[in-house]
Amino acid sequence: MRICRFDGNHIGVVEGDSVYDVTALFDLKPTWPLPQGDWIMRQLPDLLPRIRDQFRTSKAAPLQSVRLESPVANPGKIIGAPINYRAHIDEANADRDINHGKTFTSLDQYGLFIKANSALIGPSDEVQLRFDDRRNDHEVELAVIIGREARFVPRERALDHVLGYCIGLDMTVRGPEFPGFRKSLDTFAVLGPWLVTRDEIADPNDLALSIRVNGETRQDSRTSYLIFDVQKLIEYASRFYTLHPGDVIMTGTPEGVSQVNPGDVMDASIEKIGSMQVRIARDWARP
């Protein structure tokens, strides 16, 4: 199933060209203190059978007419995997505009990074750039959405903790600062267009992913080239961070990262998930 958030925090099921509003099936009144993670994603694993049975009786709207928001509203954390495709490590080490004097080796030498939740937007929002003297790059990535708490999970059981997948854009300012700064600017984490539940993707490590900018293909690869595959990323991340429902792992980007400029249009696609078009705002962020 394809689960989306749309038109101001409605929860929907996407089927064909329609969005069915299933918001009424969720408990929308959490009591303080909230459990860690996302309140709706926490309910989803148990609700999926009921949603599957009932969604066609809900009010439907044409998919084209709705405003798609990030499928996860409040991830507990957005985990980023740096340097996780060999060809991207090679391009980064060959280009000073990307590496800023660093030599990239392996993911476990650099560890993971966290993107601020305040950076999160959906496909109907615009990415807004801030450093007009820097490269602002697109990074298209498979994003994994956690469904059940995970701590010290072995790879054999890693996928049991996955709720589903979506497209992630790990927008990045190139420069000397730590990734947690350069990748956490407002609007620099894009998730969409919807969450595809785990049962629809037999092997997350065998998906085509690509991005075009203004119609020109920039990145075009497959998740089969991941160095730390999805299971290994969950095993690795859950050794250090408890993963909560709604937490997101952006699994890393393949080669072909390049600059985006105000007014550009990005078209990102991942096989078995879908496509989303995301605009770069014409105006730079200003106070």
> Which chain residues interact with Mn ion by CB under 5 A?
139, 170, 253
- Whichever of 72 and 112 has its CB closer to Mn ion, that residue is 112
Residue closer to Mn ion, measured from CB, 172 or 238: 172
**Shortest Å, Cβ 13 to Mn ion:** 29
Q: Which is nearer to Mn ion, 253 or 269 (CB)?
A: 253
Residue pair 190/122 in contact by the 8 Å Cβ criterion: yes
Complex with Mn ion: residue 40 or 119, whichever CB lies closer: 119
Query: Please, which residue, 4 or 129, has the CB nearer to Mn ion?
Result: 129
Closest distance of CB 273 from Mn ion, Å: 17
Q: How far is the CB of 80 from Mn ion (least distance, A)?
A: 5
Q: How many residues does the chain have?
A: 287
> What six digits make up the tokens of 139?
């990074």
Q: Tell the smallest beta-carbon distance from residue 130 to Mn ion (Å).
A: 18
Q: Residue with the closest Cβ to Mn ion?
A: 170
And the tokens for 110? 């650099």
**Closest approach of Mn ion to the CB of residue 221, in Å:** 13
| Residue number, 13 or 280, with CB nearest to Mn ion | 280
For residue 115, the minimal CB distance to Mn ion (Å) is: 9
In angstroms, what is the minimal distance from the CB of 145 to Mn ion? 16
Whole-angstrom Cα distance, residue 244 to residue 240? Answer: 13
Q: Which is nearer to Mn ion, 23 or 117 (CB)?
A: 117
Dihedral (CA of 286, 259, 145, 3) sign: positive
State both tokens at 281.
């705002």
The token duo for 124 is 């109907």
Q: Which two three-digit tokens encode residue 251?
A: 């699994």
